[in-house]
Amino acid sequence: MRFRIKLITVDEDGSERMHSVAELDRDSTLRLETTGLTLAEGKQILKHLQEVVVEEQVEGCVAQHRHCAICSKPLSTKGHHQIKLQTVFGNLQIRSPRLRCCPCSEGDRTKSFSPLAQVLTERSTPERLYLETLFASLLFPTGRRPNCLRSCCPRTSN
């Protein structure tokens, strides 16, 4: 038996994109050790799901800033840089474009900007920070903070 896990992105205009997340194979004979997902499979599926969701969110954010807010001309790309983001479901490397400001806004001293860097101002999501702090306070009240999420969440350390 084979299982295919797909994610469908639905835009505000109703258009859809399908992403393949994972495929699982199981014997047709039910056995205790192959019933349901393993921890490793669950972690891998969540990690890939997180990557696809964030990729779609990033594309949407960048698309919203691709045109000048004053004259609507498209903004050219000056380059890219990587943004590292730690989430509960894995650490991500996000390719972040730097966009040139439109000539119509030359009064503004800024010549370029990164839409993602303006939004992703921290390197960890609030939920990730909360869980790390909670686990650390429960397990290590002396203040030592090992990566406690490693055992239950996908790739939480780099």
Interacting residues toward Zn ion by CB under 5 A: 68, 70-71, 102, 104
For the bound state, the minimum distance from the C-beta of residue 105 to Zn ion, rounded and expressed in Å, comes to 6
Q: Which is nearer to Zn ion, 19 or 100 (CB)?
A: 100
Q: Which is nearer to Zn ion, 5 or 69 (CB)?
A: 69
CB 116 within 8 A of CB 81: no
For the bound state, the minimum distance from the C-beta of residue 13 to Zn ion, rounded and expressed in Å, comes to 25
Whole-angstrom Cα distance, residue 96 to residue 116? 6
For the bound state, the minimum distance from the C-beta of residue 116 to Zn ion, rounded and expressed in Å, comes to 21
End-to-end CA distance of the chain: 35
For the bound state, the minimum distance from the C-beta of residue 112 to Zn ion, rounded and expressed in Å, comes to 14
Q: Which is nearer to Zn ion, 41 or 106 (CB)?
A: 106
Q: Which is nearer to Zn ion, 24 or 101 (CB)?
A: 101
